[in-house]
Structure 1
Amino acid sequence: MRTLCIDIGGTGIKATILDEQGTPMTDPVRVPTPQPASPDPILDLIEEIARAQGEFDRVSIGFPGVVMENVTKTAPHLDNEKWKGYPLGEAVERRLGKPVRVANDAGIQGLAVIEGKGLEMVLTFGTGLGCALYIDGRYVPNLELGHHPYGKRDLKYEDRVFDAECKRIGPKRWNKRVRKMIEQVEPIFNYRKLYLGGGNARLLDTSRLPENVVVVDNVAGLLGGIKLWA
């Protein structure tokens, strides 16, 4: 059973094929996200990627927004209006002729790295801020911490740590903000373990993070796709 795993991001779309044990069978590919990032151009690209990857039996898609029953509800870093209520799973099934499951991209990343014990949490740093929560290995979907108010001036968590802000203030100040955010999040959720991922996780100063905070490889955004079929 071969699973085509696709990770849709605000700046790039990644894909690979996994075997039944979750081992990559093809080299992961990354292509820029089409602009405008509306459904048709992204589906055209997914179809092109699928042809290049080879044979597969099913498809898992990580999507940067709220997903309910394979239907996208929000997409703040894509063409948001056009993704509201969009049947992404059904649309990809029609194009590729294979069964499809879709979930939030941070949620899928966590499925690849969690231990499945107690309350675990994932934060992903990239174009935006992704978030996912797990209780004894069970995913609690569509927790959008990134859009929750943070401090003064009507800012949100995402406004403080997303990619554009990291580039504006530099990695040193950005790391300080991430640590401050962790200090606020920990007593709210009281997680047993926190995993930090996403494209900008590579910039984190791991020596200054709490013991129960772990930085994970961004490839987990693809590897967790097989868990949607568990």
Structure 2
Amino acid sequence: METTPDQLKILSLDIGGSHIKGTILNAKGELQKAYEKVPTPVPASPENVIAAIKKLVIDFPGFDRISVGFPGYVKEGVIKTAPNLSNELWKDFDLAKKLEEELGHPTKVVNDADMQGLGVVRGKGLELVITLGTGFGTALLYNGNLLPHLEFSHQPVGKVKSYDKYIGEVAIEKEGYKKWNRRMQKVFEVLKTVFNYDYLYIGGGNSDKLTFKLDKNMKIVSNADGIKGGTRLWVNDLIPESTEKAVKAKLK
């Protein structure tokens, strides 16, 4: 029997520099099981990461589609860069195709910040989503639709090679949270000037380490908020247009 859109179950995966996380979502973006994670393997080669994913999901309930957030530049499911993993080993690796072969279900792969953005935005105006984790991720959406992904984290800042190095995990370990917070205040000023966003969402494992007051149009979001993006990757394709608005409303 063919699965109808409202019966859809989606395996949603978030591949990070330190952990690979996963859960099962329904068509409304609701978790169907607890969020689980395994350490990101070292070296983080495609083969090792896929093996870790298979280990993670071995006891998961059934699913029909797969959504993956990946920490790098992704084009039509193919990895172009993976700066916080084993970068050269990932170049031009078709992760969507390989996971579809290994797990047996249609798969979509996008940048991890893009997937989180789909899960947290209000869908009104220009919205910027950033992730503060091993590196620095960004996603830009207009009226709820993803705009072309920009690897803003690779831009140089001051005397530092990139934003990844300036405010990523390495910077925290080297400089401490007090100096990192001062740097984050400077970064927010840059983001306001460059993007002129209507709203900014801040996710990632280090977002709760911010100690200064945020502007009224800034909000810290959790992984649980962002995981809904795994459903939204499929909503437009699989849900009839007549019900699409209702489903999107329930995802907010």
Give the TM-score of the pair, scaled to structure 1.
0.96
Higher Cα Rg, which structure: 2
Give the structure 2 partner of residue 16 of structure 1: 23
Residue of structure 2 equivalent to 1:156 = 162
Q: Structure 2 unaligned runs (5+)?
A: 1-7, 236-252
Structure 2 CA distance, aligned partners of 1:159 and 1:219?
Answer: 26
**Paired residue for 1:227, among 232, 238, 242?**
232
Tell me, yes or no, if the aligned pair for 1:14 and 1:222 is still in contact at 8 Å.
Answer: no
% of aligned pairs identical?
44
Give the SS at the match of 1:101. Answer: strand
- Given candidates 215, 220, 223, the residue that maps to 1:215 is 220
User: Where does residue 190 of structure 1 map in the other structure?
Assistant: 196
Aligned: 1:86 with 2:93: yes
- Residue 41 of structure 1 aligns to which amino acid in structure 2? N
1:201 corresponding residue in structure 2: 207
- 1:40-66 CA-partner distances (Å, limit 9, x unpaired): 011111112222212111100000001
Deviation of 1:223 (Å): 2.4
Regions of 4+ moved over 6 Å: none
User: Which is further off, 157-166 or 78-87?
Assistant: 157-166
What is the distance in 1 between the residues matched to 2:97 and 2:174? 39
Contact 2:160 2:166 in 1 (8 A): no
Length, aligned pairs only: 228
Q: 2:75 aligns with which of 49, 63, 68?
A: 68
Contact 1:36 1:79 in 2 (8 A): yes
**Structure 2 CA distance, aligned partners of 1:220 and 1:10?**
20
- CA 1:40–1:221 in 2, change beyond 3 Å: closer, same or farther? farther
SS in 2 for 1:42: helix
The Cα shift of 1:154 comes to: 4.6
The answer on whether the counterparts of 2:120 and 2:226 sit within 8 Å (CA) in structure 1 is no
Q: Secondary structure at the match of 2:14?
A: strand
The residue type equivalent to 1:201 in the other structure is S
Q: What is the alpha-carbon distance in structure 2 between the residues aligned to residue 37 and residue 196 of structure 1? A: 26
CA deviation after TM superposition for structure 1 residue 171, in Å = 1.8
Distance in 2 separating the partners of 1:147 and 1:2: 35
Q: Give the unaligned 5+ runs of structure 1.
A: none
Q: Give the distance between the partners of 2:35 and 2:113, measured in 1 at CA.
A: 18
Contact 1:126 1:162 in 2 (8 A): yes
CA distance in 2, matches of 1:64, 1:197: 14
Equivalent AA in structure 1 for residue 227 of structure 2 = L
